[in-house]
Amino acid sequence: IVDFAGAGATVPICGFGYLLAEGAIKGAQSGLFGAFTGGLVAASAGVTAAIVFGYLNALIFKAKSKKN
């Protein structure tokens, strides 16, 4: 996808799907179980980083209500 579409496959939503698909394809080389877990392994670092940084932001900054 990256070779065909260029930068379009690296934007956040498409990039996440690309990571899942690429991981599943590489995992399929080790069998059926690898095909299911490969995408999760490939995308786990990004998901973990999003959760950790979101939690840190929640600890550091105080949320405020919108004023009408």
Q: For a pLDDT cut of 90, what percent of the chain falls above it?
A: 18
Q: pLDDT (tens digit, 9 = 90+) per residue, 15-32?
A: 778 888 888 988 899 888
Pick out the chain residues at pLDDT < 50. none
Residue with tokens 């999760």, as numbered in its chain = 40
Of 18, 66, 63, 9, nearest in space to 42 by CA: 18
Positive or negative, the Cα torsion across 53, 55, 56, 58? positive
